[in-house]
């Protein structure tokens, strides 16, 4: 990895130069340490952006136990050269994500894959699904405008049954339609194998435990690994 060496610029150094070299050895004279500062290595790996809710943020878990961190381990173990970024925010709706995406897209990075995990909080609040679909589409559109070659992964979710059969069906279909219309990769249900299993969820019955998060990471990895292989061939990373 290339390191950038940055020389220290000291404002007072030039002021004493005219007095001669003996000044620095006078009793009581200040001694300035002019050793160069070594900047941190630049991480130029293409980014896999996990953009979502508390499920992505890893609510109730240590950062290293959230599924994006587990994905990074899988990426490294497979020999891929990508950086997984956790951009999850607890309580975020699709509209909140739309308001936040522009800031993320301005960061100095090459975005290779967007994993879009939003919509669950829209359903929990019984919000209008047509509005959620428009917001999610706008997030994809803005991301592709900034990074035309980005791959998009849609994380499908399920609505609580108490919202009614029609709402739950339309909510499920929202992700299927979004993936189809955008030629994106669909994870049919992010929490497959975790939802409804008390031993794999925290006390709230919604957020995975560490064991549950490992299953979620496996669900994502099933579709992410083939994408990373294709991207690696295309960009030679």
* CATH number assigned to the domain comprising residue 213: 3.40.50.1110
Q: Are residue 11 and residue 106 in the same domain, yes or no?
A: no
User: Same structural domain for residues 32 and 67?
Assistant: no
Structure confidence at residue 39 (pLDDT):
63
How many CA atoms does the CB half-sphere of 169 hold within 13 Å?
3
pLDDT of residue 235: 82
- What is the pLDDT averaged over residues 75-82? 98
- On whether both 51 and 158 belong to a single domain, the answer is yes
CA dist 97 → 55, 94, 178 (Å): 14, 5, 16
Check residue 121 and give its pLDDT. Answer: 97
Same structural domain, 117 and 139: yes
Q: Return the pLDDT at 37.
A: 63
The half-sphere exposure of 95 on its side-chain side, counting CA atoms within 13 A, is 9
Whether the CB-CB separation of 171 and 68 falls below 8 Å is answered with: no
Count of domains observed in the chain: 2
Same domain? For 16 and 119 the reply is no
Q: What are the pLDDT digits (tens) for 202-217?
A: 999 999 999 999 999 9
Q: Render pLDDT for 125-158 as a digit per residue (tens, 0 to 9).
A: 999 999 999 999 999 999 999 999 999 999 999 9
| Res 181: pLDDT | 98
Two structure tokens written together for 40:
């941190």
pTM of the model: 0.82
How confident is the model over 5-29, as a mean pLDDT? Answer: 36
Regarding beta strands 151-155 and 185-187, do their DSSP bridges make them parallel or antiparallel, or are they unpaired? parallel
Residues 54, 98 share a domain: yes
Q: Are residues 57 and 14 in the same domain?
A: no
Range name among 31-40, 60-69, 151-160 with the lowest pLDDT average: 31-40
Mark whether 127 and 27 lie in a shared domain: no
Same structural domain for residues 9 and 100?
Answer: no
* Closest to 123 measured CA to CA, from 175, 88, 61: 175
Assigned token pair, 71: 């994905």
Claim to verify: residue 120 and residue 140 sit in the same structural domain: yes
Q: Which pLDDT score is estimated for 35?
A: 57
Task: pLDDT band for 236, please (50, 70, 90 cuts).
Answer: confident
On whether both 128 and 27 belong to a single domain, the answer is: no
Which structural domain, as residue segments, surrounds residue 10? 5-38
Q: Are 231 and 224 in contact (CB under 8 A)?
A: no
Decide if 175 contacts 137 (C-beta within 8 A). no
What is the percent of the chain where pLDDT is above 90?
77
Which are the catalytic amino acids? 54, 204, 207
Is 145 in the same domain as 227?
yes
Annotate 68-77 with b (16+ C-beta within 10 A) or e (fewer): bbbbbebbee
**Measured between alpha carbons, how far is 53 from 60 in angstroms, rounded to an integer?**
13
């Amino acid at each position: 990895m290339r390191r950038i060496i940055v020389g220290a610029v000291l404002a007072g150094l030039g002021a004493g130069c005219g007095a001669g070299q003996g000044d620095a050895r006078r009793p009581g004279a200040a001694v300035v340490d002019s050793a160069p500062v070594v900047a941190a290595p630049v991480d130029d790996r293409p980014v896999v952006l996990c953009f979502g809710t508390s499920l992505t943020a890893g609510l109730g878990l240590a950062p290293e136990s959230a599924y994006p961190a587990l994905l990074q381990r899988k990426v490294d173990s497979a020999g891929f050269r990508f950086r997984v970024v956790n951009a999850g925010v607890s309580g975020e709706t699709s509209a909140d994500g739309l308001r936040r995406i522009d800031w993320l897209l301005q960061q100095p990075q090459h975005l290779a894959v967007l994993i879009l995990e939003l919509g669950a909080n829209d359903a929990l609040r019984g919000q209008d699904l047509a509005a959620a679909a428009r917001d999610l589409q706008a997030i994809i559109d803005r991301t592709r405008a900034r990074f035309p070659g980005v791959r998009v992964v849609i994380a499908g979710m399920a609505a609580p049954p108490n919202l009614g059969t029609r709402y739950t069906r339309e909510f499920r279909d929202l992700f299927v339609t979004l993936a189809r219309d955008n030629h994106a990769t669909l994870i049919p249900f992010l929490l497959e194998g975790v939802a409804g299993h008390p031993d794999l969820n925290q006390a709230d019955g919604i957020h995975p435990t560490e064991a549950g998060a490992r299953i979620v990471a496996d669900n994502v990895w099933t579709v992410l690994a083939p994408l990373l292989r294709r991207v690696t061939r295309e960009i030679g990373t």
